[in-house]
Amino acid sequence: MQLALVAGETSGDLLAGLLLGGLRQRWPALQAAGIGGPHMAAQGFQAWWPHHKLAVRGYVEVLRHYREISGIRESLAKRLLQAPPRAFIGVDAPDFNLGLEKRLKAAGIKTVHFVCPSIWAWRGGRARRMADSCDHVLCLFPFEPELLHRHGVAATYVGHPLADAIPLVPPREAARQALGLGEADEVLAVLPGSRRSEIQYIAPVFMQALALLARRRPALRFVLPVVPGLRELLVPIAQAHAPGVALHWLDGQSHGALAACDVTLIASGTATLEAALFKRPMVIAYRMHPLSWQLMKRMRYQPWVGLPNILCRDFVVPELIQDDCTPATLAAACLASLDDKRRAAQVGQRFDELHHLLRRDTARCATDAIAQVIEG
C-alpha cells in the first residue's frame, strides 16, 4: 500500500502522525511519502519536503513565500502523476492541498482530505468547490458532514485524534514532577504559536505580558514549550521584551506543559483545542499583519475565533485578538483566570463534555473510511 500525504504545519504533522498509526495497523507494509514533520517520520513517513515550508498564515505572509510554495506544489504534483500512489491524503492546509487534490483527482488518483476546512467560520464558498477536489473528507467535528453533503461532498465524522491521544483525566501531578514543578506552584503555560510567521507578531506582546505578570506576581512560574526549530527565534524576543523573567524553556513537550499548568496564555489555533482537552482555563490571543486581519475579519461568520469557544458556541474562555491583544489586557486576563477557581471548575466541566463528544477512535474510523475510498 503506497500513499502520499501532505501536512503543512505542526498541528497537521501531529494529526497525520496519529492517522498513520491507524493506517499502518491495517496495512503493516504501508509506504507513505510527501510533505510532513517529525510525528509522521516516527511512523516511517518519508518527507520529500519538511512541513515547515508550508507553515505560513495570513494573506500578506503567504504572498512573501508564494513562489517557493507554488514551486513545491508543482514539483510534488509532477512526482505523484509520474508515479501515482493508491491515494493522496491532504491533511489540513486547504490552500495548498485542495488545488493539488483537484489536479490529482482529475488524473484518476483517489483523494481524501483530512480536516474539513472551516467553512462554518469563514470562506463558506469553498465547500462548493470541494466536490471537484475530494473523493472523501474526514471531518473532526460532528456538524461538518451535513454541511458538506449539501454541496455533494462525501464526508465522514471521525472525531478528533487528539481526543483519543489525551487522557480524559489530565496527569497533572506526574506532569509537574516531570517538569520539576511543585504541587503548590502557580504555573502559567505560554504557547505563542508554531509558525515563524506568527511568532513575529505574537511573541513580543506575550513576552511583555509575562514581564508585567512577573512584577505583579513574583512567585508565578512560566513554562514555555517551543516547537522544534523556533527556539533560536524566540529566545532573542524573550531577552528583549521580558529581560530578567525566569522562563522554563521546553523543547516540545506542549502536552506536559498543558497538563502541569493552572492557566495557559495561548495563540489561537489547534493548540487551544489541546488545552481544552487538558481541561485548562486559557486566555486565547492572536495578532497578524494588519492588512491580513482586515481581510479576514470581513469574512468571519461567527463571533468566536478560538476552537474551544467555537465548538462550545460560547465565550467559555476569553479571546483577545489583534488590537485587543496588548500586554496589559493579556496580563489582566491571565490573573483573572488564575484567581477565579470557581470559574476554572466550570471551564473544566465544559471541556470534559467536549472531550467525550470528540472521542471516537479517530485512527480506526479514518482508516476504515480511507479503505472504502481506495477499495470501493
**pLDDT tens-place string over residues 339-363:** 999 999 999 999 999 999 999 999 9
Please report the domains of the chain, with CATH numbers, ordered by start residue.
2-159+360-375 (3.40.50.2000), 172-358 (3.40.50.2000)
**pLDDT tens-place string over residues 250-307:** 998 999 999 999 999 999 988 999 999 999 999 999 998 888 777 776 666 568 889 9
State the Cα–Cα distance between residues 110 and 90, nearest whole angstrom: 11
Q: What is the pLDDT of residue 108?
A: 97
- In the chain, the percentage of residues whose pLDDT exceeds 70 is 94
Q: What is the mean pLDDT of each successive set of 10 residues along the chain, which is 376 residues long?
A: 92 90 95 96 95 65 71 96 98 92 97 88 74 95 91 94 93 97 97 87 97 98 92 95 96 95 95 97 92 71 84 95 96 97 96 96 94 91
Q: What is the pLDDT of residue 291?
A: 82
Q: What is the pLDDT of residue 309?
A: 95
State the Cα–Cα distance between residues 119 and 144, nearest whole angstrom: 9
Q: Which residues contact 139 (CB under 8 A, 6 or more apart)?
A: 115, 116, 145, 148, 155, 156, 157, 158
User: Which residue from 200, 255, 247 is spatially nearest to 224, judged by alpha carbons?
Assistant: 247
Q: What is the pLDDT of residue 298?
A: 65
Q: Which residues contact 221 (CB under 8 A, 6 or more apart)?
A: 181, 185, 186, 187, 188, 246, 248
Q: What is the pLDDT of residue 69?
A: 84
Q: What is the pLDDT of residue 294?
A: 75
Q: What is the pLDDT of residue 122?
A: 62
